[in-house]
Amino acid sequence: MRDSRTNSAADPPPTFGADLHLELRGPGLRAGLTDALREAVRTGRLAPGSRLPASRSLAADLGVSRNTVVESYAELVAEGWLTAQQGSGTRVATRVEPHRAAPDARRTRPDEHLPRYDLVTGAPDLANFPRTQWLTAARRALTAAPNSAFGYGDARGRIELRTALADYLTRARGVYASPERIVICSGFHHGLALMAQALRARRVRAVAVEAYGLGLYRDLLANAGLHTPPLYVDEHGARIDDLARRGVGAVLLTPAHQYPTGVALSPERRTAAVDWARATGGLILEDDYDGEFRYDRQPVGALQGLDPQRVVYFGSASKSLAPGVRLGWMVLPEELIPEIVAAKGHGDYMTSALEQLMLAEFIASGAYDRHVRSMRLRYRRRRDQLVAVLRQRAPGIRVAGMAAGLQTVLDLPRGTESSVVQAAARQGLAIRGLSQFRYEVADCGWQLPERDALVVNYAAPSDSAWPGALDALCSVMP
Amino acid sequence: MRDSRTNSAADPPPTFGADLHLELRGPGLRAGLTDALREAVRTGRLAPGSRLPASRSLAADLGVSRNTVVESYAELVAEGWLTAQQGSGTRVATRVEPHRAAPDARRTRPDEHLPRYDLVTGAPDLANFPRTQWLTAARRALTAAPNSAFGYGDARGRIELRTALADYLTRARGVYASPERIVICSGFHHGLALMAQALRARRVRAVAVEAYGLGLYRDLLANAGLHTPPLYVDEHGARIDDLARRGVGAVLLTPAHQYPTGVALSPERRTAAVDWARATGGLILEDDYDGEFRYDRQPVGALQGLDPQRVVYFGSASKSLAPGVRLGWMVLPEELIPEIVAAKGHGDYMTSALEQLMLAEFIASGAYDRHVRSMRLRYRRRRDQLVAVLRQRAPGIRVAGMAAGLQTVLDLPRGTESSVVQAAARQGLAIRGLSQFRYEVADCGWQLPERDALVVNYAAPSDSAWPGALDALCSVMP
């Protein structure tokens, strides 16, 4: 992959007019704008070389302060997505298109023009997707499927997959699960959208979320018409005692491994959360996004086991296998099932039946367990390398939240986060500061402490890219 | 498959209490209730043998007239889903579970307990799904996929599939298509949901629909907060001149083959529709659900070709391949693409990347064309058999809307529709009357003419079931 972010003189870059359509929704304006712009560049909607509107005019278009736009642009220049040059304004970084032999030439793959090293994307190591075993599962599933599997399906999803998952989740995650309690969806995003619809139909008006987290899911809830007051997050996880004051109908938590700070919700707070739900009739939405990946301690079982009537458990194949397999699952209190089925339109109009059968086969054959075990060893090795190399080359840096999962947090000296992110971009290393995940609102009555840190998704690089990514990371440590 | 709809004395049936949760949304109450109940039985949510609430109490719960409930129950008794016995109330029909050898015993497949012959389900012949060729495409796609294909994807869908579809749609359906104008979705239901979201964001308040059609899509639009005034349908298709009076922002049409009456939108009305859209800035949503299947005339090209800036073209693999492959596509006016991308959450969180690659490979290899051609011959043969056998055994019956597609309409003598549907159910034949698809509202200023007819989806039965289905159908003709 080549790294060429200078504009080519031979090919004058297109300019970009006033029609820069960006969806900025919910609170957290700067992070939202940065995300929307990054996504527009990543997906090619903003073409390489095209000029962005002047910060003043974009700010006016969007109704935000000019400073918000300036900061967003600076962040993306730092990450390598944009370039800023005197006299030429802010532009999308130009990258050379890889030339290919004839028949495939039309199939441009925009994802290949990313920064050299990617420690941002919340995906597992895609180079190790078990292609051969997945194909075996596909063959078996396609051979064994009843004809009816090719038709319109049950809104709850294929019974074969729900059966396989009930076994797996009970065994591996301590979930109180049976096929009847499971509804299949196309990943966590889809499951949360269904839940938001069901909550709205119940007249719930607000869902509390953690003060560190992904704007994507807050936006999803906000778009469904739900308020999203934040819960303070400390070293024991989200502060549950804040819940009572919030008057919310539900709370979205990452109990096993807070995203992205990496702490586990303490046993006291797990109990407190369930007590809150019982006392108020509220629901806990448990996002168990990476529960399979534990390294240094016994697995933290699912919170859902404490009270399957008050906790909705969400899992997916996105971290354990790959996001390209669009499969997720919800384990629901019985009373919620008809509401989720209604939100789905009483049929399975979203999730591939064949892919469901493939995953059922993949789990039932033991391939899923083997894959998770093998990836766990791999990720653990990477994490150990990260810790060891940092200890040697940057002994002052504290590594946090590293007992589990695919990401860790590196605490930096005060005031250095933004310059480190920028230095990394100059090395071709895309990485995000922890501040990108902060979520505070004006009236929440507290403030998260200042914390300069990097969120390192050490799972994303391929095995061959990892040493280079690690080296680049160390080279920019203060 | 056994047909046993009497209650077993050995196994006392469960009773069903007041918690019968049904989603009845939008207008068309009786059809909506019938659909919801049928779906609840079909999916097993209402267990075999369970007792339904008394009509009076369900009517009160739902806020509908008792007559609506009585008629819905009668319809479903007629179709064989429910039984009504003196003294025991209305119950879900009991069917014997097929016993299976050990390891698979847990995998109950509720879809296998349907009526013996199904001429209702809007699916193609699933027994002829091209399993071998699909597996070949899966192998090629899995082998060739770049690692990035397993990650989070572009909201517009995989470029490989958009490229293959642009070629195909231009060639086969006269669509003005390029990869940049295509957005992949998980079938028409998903595409329409995204469009409804985008229309709402544009402050559109109403989308006109055809006065014959599926309640499912009207409900989807209504749930998105859109009004759905009906357009009168005659032998030239939907009456476009009604549009101007409606003040709608969009209209949903099935121009190539009106569903379910089977007529094609006349050339004059196609032009009128585009004129309306240009004059008002409205959008035409073209549901080309079965455009590939034409028998007796030149294909009717997509309406979208007339004005790609005012028509949104929707297609899917549901009729051409199978609904279990959850893939659809929208060809969009350029200006709408960012709005659809925003409705999707700026990423592909719904549609399997691997299945997209499989279909891309399936189309590019020519297997899609071959499959469509072979199925067209098959369906045409079935249609010819249907016409020939009916001419012999029921010479008074007119067969309408049969030039294309997977369904046809049999016109019956006045006043016989409901008794024919009931007689069919007694033969184990599930079929729906045309009245189930009617959609009128109080203030529309016209009434559809009385029309007793059956909608025959002759594509759904397998080759082995087809002769029996045809025989059962003839035997109940008046």
Q: Give the confidence band of B33 by pLDDT, cuts at 50, 70, 90.
A: confident
pLDDT at B456 over 70: yes
Q: What is the DSSP string of B200-218?
A: HHTT--BEEEESBS-HHHH
How high is the pLDDT of residue B22? Answer: 63
CB contacts < 8 Å between A and B, how many?
Answer: 205
Distances (CA, A) of A82 to A31, A46, A189, B178: 16, 10, 28, 28
* Contact criterion met (CB < 8 Å) for B342 and A23: yes
CA distance B163 to B184: 11
When CB atoms are compared, the residue of A131, A152, A160 closest to B121 is A152
Enter the ipTM.
0.77
By C-alpha distance, the chain B residue nearest A350 is B186
Report how far apart, in Å, the C-alpha atoms of A371 and of each of A79, A457, B131 are: 32, 19, 27
Mean pLDDT of B49-69: 78
- List, in sequence order, every beta strand (DSSP E) within A171-302: 182-185, 207-210, 230-231, 233-234, 237-238, 250-253, 283-287
Cα-Cα-Cα-Cα dihedral of B215, B216, B221, B226, to 10°? 30
The pLDDT score that the predictor gives to residue A323 is 95
pLDDT in tens, B171-184: 888 999 999 999 99
pLDDT tens for each residue of A49-72? 778 888 887 777 676 788 888 888
pLDDT category of residue B23 using cuts at 50, 70 and 90: low
Which tokens hold the place of A440?
A: 């505070």
CB contact under 8 A, B123 and A151: yes
- Which pLDDT tens digit goes with each residue over B258-284? 999 999 999 999 999 999 999 999 999
How many angstroms separate the CA of residue A266 from the nearest CA in chain B?
31
Which of the four pLDDT bands, split at 50, 70 and 90, describes residue A45?
low
Average pLDDT, stretch A388-404? 90
Neighbours of A475 (CB within 10 A): 13
Confidence (pLDDT) at A6 = 36
Interface contact flag, B352 A186, Cβ < 8 Å: yes
Band of residue B245 on the pLDDT scale cut at 50, 70, 90: confident
Beta carbons of B148 and A111 less than 8 Å apart? yes
- What is the gyration radius of the CA atoms in chain B, in angstroms? 23
Q: If you average pLDDT over residues A188-198, what whole number do you get?
A: 97
For residue B111, pLDDT beyond 70? no
Per-residue pLDDT tens digits for A29-38: 777 788 778 7
Check CB contact under 8 Å for A186 and B186: yes
pLDDT for A9 beyond 50: no
Share of chain A above pLDDT 90, in %: 65
Q: What is the arithmetic mean of pLDDT over A172-200?
A: 96
Closest among B235, B226, B184 to B205, alpha carbons compared: B226
- Give residue B100's pLDDT band: very low, low, confident or very high (50, 70, 90): very low
* pLDDT bucket at B34, cuts 50 / 70 / 90: confident
Residue A17 is predicted with a pLDDT of 34
Q: Lowest mean pLDDT: which of A47-61, A271-285, A326-340, A430-444?
A: A47-61
The answer to whether A48 and A92 have CB atoms below 8 angstroms apart is: yes
Nearest chain A residue to B319 by CA distance is: A151
* Residue A71 one-letter amino acid: E
Q: Give the C-alpha separation, B133 to B125, whole Å.
A: 16
Predicted confidence (pLDDT) at residue A299 exceeds the cutoff of 70: no
Average of per-residue pLDDT across A243-266: 93
Asked whether residue A23 carries a pLDDT value surpassing 60, the answer given is: no
The alpha helices in A227-280, defined as continuous H runs, are 241-246, 267-280
Q: Coil, helix or strand for A188?
A: helix
Chain B residues within an 8 Å CB radius of A325: 150, 352-354
**Residue A68: in which H helix or E strand, if any?**
helix A66-79
* Chain A residues within 8 A of B39 when measuring between CB atoms: 346-347
Do B20 and B53 meet the contact criterion of CB atoms below 8 Å apart? yes
Asked if B354 and A325 come within 8 Å (Cβ–Cβ), the reply is: yes
Nearest neighbour of A186 by CB, restricted to B122, B216, B349 = B349
For residue A109, the chain B residues in CB contact (below 8 A) are 146, 148, 159
* CA-based nearest distance B224→chain A, Å: 11
B interface mutation test: which of A349, A361, A363, A365 has the most B CBs within 10 A?
A349
Q: State residue B114's pLDDT score.
A: 57
- What is the least distance, in Å, from the CA of B443 to any CA of chain A? 27
Measured in whole angstroms, the distance separating CA B51 from the mean position of its chain's CA atoms is: 29
Quick one: pLDDT at residue A206? 97
Measured in whole angstroms, the distance separating CA A329 from the mean position of its chain's CA atoms is 16
pLDDT at B5 over 80: no
CB contacts, 8 Å: A342 with chain B: 21, 23
Residue A188, min C-alpha distance to chain B (Å):
8
Residue B267: Cβ within 10 Å count? 10
Q: Is the pLDDT of residue A378 over 70?
A: yes
Quote the pLDDT of residue A37. Answer: 82
Q: What is the predicted pLDDT for the residue at B35?
A: 77
Query: Is B340 a residue whose pLDDT tops 70?
Result: yes
Distance CA A268, CA A278 (A): 15
- Model-wide pTM > 0.90: no
Which chain A residues have a beta carbon less than 8 Å from that of B154?
43-44, 110-111
CA distance, residue A165 to nearest chain B CA (Å): 13
Q: Which of A261-270, A442-451, B27-36, B98-107 is least confident?
A: B98-107
Lowest mean pLDDT among A291-305, B5-19, B128-142, B238-252: B5-19
Q: Do B150 and A323 touch (CB under 8 A)?
A: yes
Instruction: Mark yes or no for CB contact A123/B355 under 8 Å.
Output: no
Residue B44 has pLDDT above 90, yes or no: no
Residues contacting A88, CB < 8 A, separation 6+: A7, A51
pLDDT over 80 at A466, yes or no: yes
Average pLDDT value for residue range A86-114: 49
- Flag whether pLDDT at B254 surpasses 70: yes
Torsion angles phi and psi, residue A268, rounded to 5 = -60, -40
Average pLDDT of the residues of chain B: 86
Query: A351 contacts in B (CB within 8 Å)?
Result: 186, 326
Q: What is the pLDDT of residue A61?
A: 67
Ranking A2-6, A179-183, B208-212, B422-426 by mean pLDDT, the lowest is A2-6
Q: What is the mean pLDDT of chain A?
A: 86
* Residue B21, pLDDT above cutoff 80: no
Q: Which residue of A has its CA nearest to B39?
A: A346
**Res. A295: pLDDT tops 70:** yes
Nearest CA in chain A to B350: A186
Average pLDDT score over residue span A271-296: 93
Partners of B216 on chain A (C-beta within 8 Å) are: 345, 347
The pLDDT, as a whole number, for residue B99 is 26
Q: What is the mean pLDDT of residues A217-245?
A: 94
Residues B437-455, mean pLDDT to the nearest whole number: 91
| pLDDT higher at B478 or A113 | B478
* Closest CA in chain A for residue B360: A107
